């Protein structure tokens, strides 16, 4: 046994008695052990070794065709009562769910090895950090967790004789979608996942722990777990200000976190540093400001659309020690390809499902070589713009919180909330077109408060309340200012009106200027809008008319949205904080004036 922690030993005994693996292997975090596992996964076909000259340390993995994204309809929050889980989560009574799943797990690891992965979310030993142990029968999961989290003996040491941990159990079983379950038991700090082998469903440190369980812990302990990137923006004087941004899945967090400024701003000395690309844990520091850490150690990023032009830094990060999932293989040189990497699909390709095809003809006929939710798992330290504060156990102080989503209409390019309470309302009324990151229809607008709809581990109404409480604990001059952005506004032909990507820097500069009181704004029905002259469009090919439209509020469209907001909030009944209802009334009143 690797540990004397009695809680670990008892739990492991119970889980292995249920799943009945042939053997149990502790993951110690050593490169030698991981290398053995890579070799084993390649021998069984679970992974493919890629061209080691062009992509050293890189591997390829293909999931089952029915197992390519998170499954929100099979994800449950099992609190003692249904009310605690709230109306936007699936719920089942804990006893009932445990009983149901025990039957599925029974003997599920016969003939397989159970790997025990001790891992830390956050730098090992940081006061912000929390420990989990994941039991899994998947080498793919072990190798991904080794990139995405801090793993191994050092974590067991930090856990000590008596430390508490989040109990995570994953069994691939037979990847049957009918019996797939991703289940959180927040009161027990327990996560059970079965019948999947796709990232978000099985890398249990990520969405299951760092958001669902952690949001519940945060509510109880007075901190926040959010679906947010963290970036540092350095000005020509060398000062760095930090921004957190919450966008729904596949709506641009990784891209914004690694942004490269337009040439003329780069020349002036502006730089962006990445602290995190998906998850933030936020606490109020001794000085009364809000501090964020990134609990992860790697990036599980969307591959399609990632190119030298759109996200050079992410692409660089994937050039060594990376696992690619469900992208296409270029068989000429055993490298990878995906839509948007370049305009040159490989002729001699294997598409994501495993069929050999002529990539040029295949894509010309309208097929996709890579799955739209294909991903790379890359170590954060590979990123050329990784922040020097990435490992800072205290986190970084946050100046601005930015909400955003994919809205073809409605939301302007950027606006600022009047104060924290209004900002919480802005976050609570977020909506976005669905993406391939979750199973189901793509492109349908749905409400996704704070980009947490699929990730909140308790009643969403109480979550709004927690946000409001956090605001009350900070002085107005110390609390981050809150903004909303939309990079995805479309014209009548369906073209994006804003260039996006690196040019989003122009909006970030306005945001920071607002935080520092350096620039004015126009008060509108929905909040503060930039004056057109204050968005720097130097060297940008955008007409005044388009920019004007991007910064205009269409009252009729907004009134339609208010009607939808009302309907959405109604489901929370009396549990909805009065402040949210009050802000809704203010917005409606402003629009009807």
The binding site for Mn ion (CB under 5 A) comprises 249, 278
In the Cβ-directed half-sphere of 228, how many Cα atoms lie within 13 Å? 26
Using left for φ > 0, alpha for ψ between -120 and 50, and beta otherwise, residue 122 falls in left
**Residue 271 Cβ, how far from ligand SPV at the closest point, in Å?**
25
**Would you count residue 514 as binding ligand SPV (CB under 6 A)?**
no
Q: Are 260 and 312 in contact (CB under 8 A)?
A: yes
3-class secondary structure, 172: coil
| Residue at shortest CB range from ligand SPV | 200
**Residue 44 Cβ, how far from ligand GTP at the closest point, in Å?**
28
Residues between 316 and 345 that touch ligand SPV (CB under 6 A): none
Q: Which is nearer to Mn ion, 114 or 323 (CB)?
A: 323
Q: Torsion angle, CA of 196/252/404/77, rounded to 10 degrees?
A: 10
**Residue 187 Cβ, how far from ligand SPV at the closest point, in Å?**
23
Q: Give the C-alpha separation, 115 to 26, whole Å.
A: 6
**Residue 430 Cβ, how far from ligand SPV at the closest point, in Å?**
14
Q: Which is nearer to ligand GTP, 57 or 500 (CB)?
A: 500
Q: Are 141 and 134 in contact (CB under 8 A)?
A: yes
**Would you count residue 200 as binding ligand SPV (CB under 6 A)?**
yes
Q: Give the C-alpha separation, 484 to 415, whole Å.
A: 5
Q: Which is nearer to ligand SPV, 204 or 591 (CB)?
A: 204
**Would you count residue 276 as binding ligand GTP (CB under 6 A)?**
no
Span from 145-153, 299-307, 351-359, 549-557 in contact with ligand GTP (CB under 6 A):
299-307
Span from 302-310, 377-385, 453-461, 473-481 in contact with ligand GTP (CB under 6 A):
302-310
**Would you count residue 67 as binding ligand SPV (CB under 6 A)?**
no
Span from 142-150, 298-306, 344-352, 459-467 in contact with ligand GTP (CB under 6 A):
298-306
Span from 32-40, 41-49, 392-400, 495-503 in contact with ligand GTP (CB under 6 A):
495-503
Q: Are 404 and 397 in contact (CB under 8 A)?
A: no
In the Cβ-directed half-sphere of 249, how many Cα atoms lie within 13 Å? 25
Binding mask 248-267 for ligand SPV (x = CB under 6 A): -x------------------
Span from 138-146, 199-207, 486-494, 580-588 in contact with ligand SPV (CB under 6 A):
199-207
3-class secondary structure, 209: helix
Residues between 128 and 147 that touch ligand SPV (CB under 6 A): none
**Would you count residue 70 as binding ligand SPV (CB under 6 A)?**
yes
Report CA-CA distances (Å) from 363 to 139, 183, 338: 32, 38, 11
Other Cβ atoms less than 10 A from the Cβ of 139: the count is 23
**Would you count residue 461 as binding ligand GTP (CB under 6 A)?**
no
Q: Which is nearer to ligand GTP, 62 or 506 (CB)?
A: 506
Beta strands in 211-289 (DSSP E): 224-226, 228-234, 240-246, 271-276, 280-284
Q: Which of 29, 152, 199, 502 binds ligand SPV (CB under 6 A)?
A: 199
Long-range contacts of 27-30 (CB under 8 A, 24+ apart): 27/115, 27/116, 27/117, 27/118, 27/142, 27/145, 27/146, 27/151, 27/152, 28/2, 28/152, 28/153, 29/146, 29/151, 29/152, 29/153, 29/154, 29/155, 30/152
**Residue 22 Cβ, how far from Mn ion at the closest point, in Å?**
35
58 is catalytic: no
Q: Give the C-alpha separation, 521 to 515, whole Å.
A: 12
Q: Which is nearer to ligand SPV, 15 or 302 (CB)?
A: 302
DSSP string, 512-537: HHHHTT-S--EE-SSSEEPPGGGS--
Q: Which of 10, 263, 496, 548 binds ligand GTP (CB under 6 A)?
A: 496
**Residue 433 Cβ, how far from ligand GTP at the closest point, in Å?**
11
Short-list 340, 341, 342, 358, CA closest to 350: 358
Q: DSSP letter at 21?
A: -
**Would you count residue 180 as binding ligand SPV (CB under 6 A)?**
no
**Residue 279 Cβ, how far from Mn ion at the closest point, in Å?**
7
**Would you count residue 407 as binding ligand GTP (CB under 6 A)?**
no
Q: Which is nearer to ligand GTP, 120 or 255 (CB)?
A: 255
Report CA-CA distances (Å) from 586 to 183, 328, 421, 523, 583: 38, 50, 12, 14, 5
Q: Give the C-alpha separation, 121 to 124, whole Å.
A: 8
**Would you count residue 278 as binding ligand GTP (CB under 6 A)?**
yes
Q: Which is nearer to ligand GTP, 94 or 454 (CB)?
A: 454
Q: Which is nearer to Mn ion, 278 or 448 (CB)?
A: 278
Q: Hey, which residues are catalytic here? A: 251
- Residues interacting with ligand SPV, by CB under 6 A? 70, 199-200, 206-207, 249, 278, 300, 437
């Amino acid at each position: 046994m690797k540990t004397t922690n009695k809680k670990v030993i008892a739990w492991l005994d119970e889980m292995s008695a249920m799943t009945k693996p042939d053997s149990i292997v502790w993951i110690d975090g050593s490169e030698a052990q991981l290398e053995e596992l890579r070799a084993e996964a390649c021998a069984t076909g679970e992974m493919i070794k890629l061209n080691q000259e062009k992509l050293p340390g890189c591997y390829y993995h293909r999931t089952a065709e029915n197992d390519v994204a998170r499954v929100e309809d099979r994800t449950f929050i099992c609190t003692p009562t249904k009310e605690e889980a709230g109306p936007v989560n699936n719920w089942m009574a804990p006893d009932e769910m445990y009983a149901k799943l025990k039957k599925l797990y029974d003997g599920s690891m016969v003939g397989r090895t159970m790997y025990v992965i001790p891992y830390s979310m956050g730098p090992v030993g940081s006061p912000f950090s929390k420990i989990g142990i994941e039991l899994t029968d998947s080498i793919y999961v072990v190798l991904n967790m080794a990139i995405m989290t801090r793993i191994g003996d050092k974590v067991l040491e930090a856990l000590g004789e008596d430390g508490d941990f989040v109990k995570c159990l994953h069994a691939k079983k037979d990847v049957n979608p009918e019996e797939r379950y991703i289940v959180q038991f927040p009161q027990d700090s327990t996560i059970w996942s079965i019948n999947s082998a796709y990232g978000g469903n099985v890398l249990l440190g990520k969405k299951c722990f760092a958001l669902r369980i952690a949001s519940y812990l945060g509510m109880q302990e007075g901190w926040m777990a959010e679906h947010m990137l963290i970036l540092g923006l350095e000005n020509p004087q060398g000062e760095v200000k930090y921004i957190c941004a919450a966008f729904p899945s596949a709506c641009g967090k990784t891209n914004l976190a690694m942004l490269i400024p337009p040439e003329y701003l780069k020349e002036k000395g502006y730089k962006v540093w990445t602290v995190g690309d998906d998850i933030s844990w936020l606490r109020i520091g001794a000085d009364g400001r809000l501090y964020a850490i990134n609990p992860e150690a790697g990036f599980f990023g969307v591959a399609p659309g990632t190119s030298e032009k759109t996200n050079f830094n992410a692409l660089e990060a994937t050039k060594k020690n990376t696992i690619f999932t469900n992208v296409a293989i270029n068989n000429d040189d055993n490298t990878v390809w995906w839509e948007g990497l370049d305009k040159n699909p490989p002729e001699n390709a294997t598409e994501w499902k495993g069929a050999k095809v002529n990539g040029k003809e295949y894509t010309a006929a309208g097929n996709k070589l890579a799955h739209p939710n294909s991903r790379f798992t890359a170590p954060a330290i590979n990123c050329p713009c990784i922040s020097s504060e990435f490992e800072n156990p205290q986190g970084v102080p946050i100046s601005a919180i930015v909400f955003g989503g994919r809205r073809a209409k409605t939301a302007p390019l950027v606006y600022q909330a009047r104060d924290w309470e209004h900002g919480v309302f802005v976050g609570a009324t977020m909506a976005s077109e669905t993406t391939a990151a979750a199973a189901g229809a793509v492109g349908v607008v749905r409400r996704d408060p704070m980009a947490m709809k699929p990730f909140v581990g308790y009643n969403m109404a109480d979550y709004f309340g927690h946000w409001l409480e956090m605001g009350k604990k900070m002085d107005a001059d110390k609390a981050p200012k809150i903004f909303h952005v939309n990079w995805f506004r479309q014209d009548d032909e369906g073209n994006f009106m804003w260039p996006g990507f690196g040019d989003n820097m122009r909006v970030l500069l306005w945001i920071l200027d607002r935080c520092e009181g350096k620039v004015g704004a126009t008060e509108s029905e929905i909040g503060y809008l930039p004056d057109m002259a204050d968005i720097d469009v130097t060297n940008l090919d955008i007409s005044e008319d388009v920019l004007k439209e991007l910064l205009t509020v269409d009252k009729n469209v907004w009134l339609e949205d208010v009607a939808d907001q009302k309907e959405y909030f109604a489901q929370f009944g009396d549990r909805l904080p009065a402040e949210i209802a009050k802000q809704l009334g203010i917005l409606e009143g402003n629009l009807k004036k």
